[in-house]
Amino acid sequence: MNTILLAMKILVATSIYFVWVVRYENIVKEFKEFGLPEWLRDLTGILKMSFAFMLLFGTPDNGLDSIGSLGIAGLMVCAQATHFRTGTAAFRRLPSLVLLSMSLIIFYLSYYSVA
């Protein structure tokens, strides 16, 4: 596997783990601030952790890394929409934009490494 691809997968998965496990109190605060329900916060966390797991343990051959990267990208599009809807500052939108970009790059590198 390409070293850059592996490094990007680890970076994305680690950042998701850090935000959703280590800094979970911040997530609770943000979802309240945005007026989003608790069930959506929990579902989002489950999906993000599942997609991160797919990134780490999937391979281009079994396609799990492609599913994980597209899943994370989809969630980051939703995060961007929420940030725009609530009018948050640009610097608070940057982490989800970076994860969106990295997830799309991971998808591209994973998908086209099989072909």
Domain that holds residue 96: 3-114
Three-class SS of 30-88:
HHHHCCCCHHHHHHHHHHHHHHHHHHHHCCCCCCHHHHHHHHHHHHHHHHHHHHHHHCC
Looking at residue 59, its pLDDT comes to 80
Q: Is the pLDDT of residue 115 over 70?
A: no
Looking at residue 60, its pLDDT comes to 74
Above pLDDT 70, what percent of the chain? 97
The predicted-structure confidence for 53-87, as pLDDT tens digits, reads as follows 999 998 877 889 999 999 999 999 999 999 999 99
Q: What is the domain count for the chain?
A: 1
